[in-house]
Structure 1
Amino acid sequence: MKKAIIVGGGISGLAAAYLLQKQAKAADIELDVTLLEKEERLGGKIWSIKADGYLCEWGPNGFLDSKPQTLDLCRDLEASGQLLRSNDNARKRFIYSGGILNRLPENGPSFLKSKLISWPGKLRLAMEPFIPPYAAAEDETLAAFGRRRLGEEALQKLIAPMVSGIFAGNPETMSLVSCFPRIAELERDYGSLVKAMIKLAKKKKQDIASGKVVASAAGPGGVLTSFRDGIQTLTDILAERLGPATIVSGQAVTGLTNGSSAPFRLRTATIDIDADVVILASPAYATADILEAIAPEMVTVLREIPYASMTVVCFGYERERISYDLNGFGYLIPKEEGMNTLGTLWDSSIFENRAPAGRVLLRSMLGGACFPEYVTLSDEEVIRRVRADLQAAMAITAEPSFIRIFRHAQAIPQYTAGHGRRLAALDEQLANHPGLFLTGNSYRGIGLNDCVAAANRTADAVVTYLKSR
Structure 2
Amino acid sequence: MKKAIIVGGGISGLAAAYLLREQAREAGLEIDVTLLEKEQRTGGKIWSIKADGYLCEWGPNGFLDSKPQTLDLCRQLGADKYLLRSNDNARKRFIYSGGVLHRLPENGPSFLKSELISWPGKLRLALEPTPFVAGPPAGVDETLAAFGRRRLGKEALNKLIAPMVSGIFAGDPETMSLASCFPRIAELEREYGGLVKAMIRLARKKKREQKEGKVVASAAGPGGVLTSFRDGIQSLTDILTAEIGPDNILTGSGAVRIGTGSSVPYRVTTDSGEQEADLVVLATPAYATAELVTEMAPDMAAVLRQIPYATMTVVCFGYERERIERDLDGFGYLIPKQEGMNTLGTLWDSSIFENRAPAGKVLLRSMMGGACFPEYINLPDDEVIRRVRADLQAIMGITEAPSFSRIFRHPQAIPQYTVGHGKRLEALADKGAAHPGLFLTGNSYRGIGLNDCVAAAHRTAAEAVAYLKTR
| Alpha-carbon separation, structure 2, partners of 1:390 and 1:61 | 21
Matches for 1:58-69 after TM superposition, within 5 Å = 58-69=58-69
1:257-300 CA-to-partner distances (Å, cap 9, x unmatched) read 11112111110121100111000000000000000110000011
Q: Which amino acid aligns with 1:66?
A: S
Q: Would the aligned equivalents of 1:66 and 1:215 in 2 still touch at CA under 8 Å? A: no
| Alpha-carbon separation, structure 1, partners of 2:190 and 2:222 | 22
User: Matched residue of 1:381: which SS?
Assistant: helix
Partner of 2:351: 349
Q: Would the aligned equivalents of 2:13 and 2:442 in 1 still touch at CA under 8 Å? A: yes
Scaled by the length of structure 2, the TM-score of the pair is: 0.98
Q: Which amino acid aligns with 2:190?
A: R
| Alpha-carbon separation, structure 1, partners of 2:262 and 2:145 | 50
Q: Which amino acid aligns with 2:116?
A: L
| Alpha-carbon separation, structure 2, partners of 1:202 and 1:219 | 16
Matches for 1:13-52 after TM superposition, within 5 Å = 13-52=13-52
Q: Would the aligned equivalents of 2:311 and 2:371 in 1 still touch at CA under 8 Å? A: yes
| Alpha-carbon separation, structure 2, partners of 1:135 and 1:341 | 34
Q: Which segments of 5 or more consecutive residues in structure 1 lack a partner in the other structure?
A: none
Partner of 2:361: 359
Partner of 1:137: 139
Q: Which amino acid aligns with 1:332?
A: L
1:360-394 CA-to-partner distances (Å, cap 9, x unmatched) read 00000000000000011011000010011011111
**1:135 to partner: Cα distance:** 3.3
**1:217 to partner: Cα distance:** 7.1
Query: Cα 1:336–1:197, aligned 2, differ >3 Å: closer, same or farther?
Result: same
Aligned pair count reads 469
The one of 319, 322, 329 aligned to 2:321: 319
Q: Which amino acid aligns with 1:381?
A: E
**1:218 to partner: Cα distance:** 8.2
Q: Which amino acid aligns with 1:256?
A: I
Partner of 1:173: 175
| Alpha-carbon separation, structure 2, partners of 1:258 and 1:300 | 19
| Alpha-carbon separation, structure 2, partners of 1:220 and 1:302 | 35
| Alpha-carbon separation, structure 2, partners of 1:8 and 1:163 | 27
**1:138 to partner: Cα distance:** 1.6
- The answer to whether the aligner puts 1:457 opposite 2:459 as a matched pair is yes
User: Matched residue of 1:111: which SS?
Assistant: helix
Query: Cα 1:216–1:328, aligned 2, differ >3 Å: closer, same or farther?
Result: farther
1:101-160 CA-to-partner distances (Å, cap 9, x unmatched) read 000000111101100000110011011112232132020000000000001000000000
Pairwise CA RMSD of aligned residues? 1.2
Q: Which amino acid aligns with 2:309?
A: Y
Matches for 1:239-318 after TM superposition, within 5 Å = 239-318=241-320
Query: Cα 1:225–1:216, aligned 2, differ >3 Å: closer, same or farther?
Result: farther
| Alpha-carbon separation, structure 1, partners of 2:379 and 2:203 | 47
| Alpha-carbon separation, structure 2, partners of 1:81 and 1:220 | 18
1:163-194 CA-to-partner distances (Å, cap 9, x unmatched) read 00000000000000100011001101100001
Moved more, 212-221 or 305-314: 212-221
Q: Would the aligned equivalents of 2:67 and 2:221 in 1 still touch at CA under 8 Å? A: no
Q: Which amino acid aligns with 1:187?
A: E
**1:203 to partner: Cα distance:** 2.3
Partner of 2:122: 122
Q: Would the aligned equivalents of 1:35 and 1:247 in 2 still touch at CA under 8 Å? A: yes
Scaled by the length of structure 1, the TM-score of the pair is: 0.98
**1:206 to partner: Cα distance:** 2.8
| Alpha-carbon separation, structure 1, partners of 2:384 and 2:214 | 50
The one of 151, 154, 171 aligned to 1:152: 154
| Alpha-carbon separation, structure 2, partners of 1:209 and 1:312 | 47
Q: Which amino acid aligns with 2:33?
A: V
| Alpha-carbon separation, structure 1, partners of 2:223 and 2:428 | 30
Partner of 1:9: 9
**1:209 to partner: Cα distance:** 3.6
Q: Would the aligned equivalents of 2:266 and 2:279 in 1 still touch at CA under 8 Å? A: yes
Query: Cα 1:12–1:82, aligned 2, differ >3 Å: closer, same or farther?
Result: same
**1:220 to partner: Cα distance:** 11
User: Matched residue of 2:418: which SS?
Assistant: coil
Q: Which amino acid aligns with 1:73?
A: L
Q: Would the aligned equivalents of 2:64 and 2:451 in 1 still touch at CA under 8 Å? A: yes
**1:208 to partner: Cα distance:** 3.6
Q: Would the aligned equivalents of 1:91 and 1:218 in 2 still touch at CA under 8 Å? A: no
- The answer to whether the aligner puts 1:386 opposite 2:388 as a matched pair is yes
Partner of 2:82: 82
Q: Would the aligned equivalents of 1:90 and 1:219 in 2 still touch at CA under 8 Å? A: no
Partner of 1:99: 99
Q: Which segments of 5 or more consecutive residues in structure 2 lack a partner in the other structure?
A: none
| Alpha-carbon separation, structure 1, partners of 2:373 and 2:134 | 34
The one of 327, 337, 340 aligned to 1:338: 340
**1:216 to partner: Cα distance:** 5.4
User: Matched residue of 1:110: which SS?
Assistant: helix
| Alpha-carbon separation, structure 1, partners of 2:278 and 2:287 | 23
Q: Would the aligned equivalents of 2:282 and 2:440 in 1 still touch at CA under 8 Å? A: yes
Q: Which amino acid aligns with 2:83?
A: L
Q: Percent identity?
A: 77
**1:30 to partner: Cα distance:** 1.1
| Alpha-carbon separation, structure 2, partners of 1:146 and 1:216 | 25
Partner of 1:184: 186
| Alpha-carbon separation, structure 1, partners of 2:59 and 2:238 | 15
Q: Would the aligned equivalents of 1:132 and 1:191 in 2 still touch at CA under 8 Å? A: no
1:395-426 CA-to-partner distances (Å, cap 9, x unmatched) read 11111101000000000000000000000000
| Alpha-carbon separation, structure 1, partners of 2:3 and 2:70 | 26
Partner of 2:405: 403
| Alpha-carbon separation, structure 2, partners of 1:195 and 1:112 | 19
Moved more, 258-267 or 361-370: 258-267
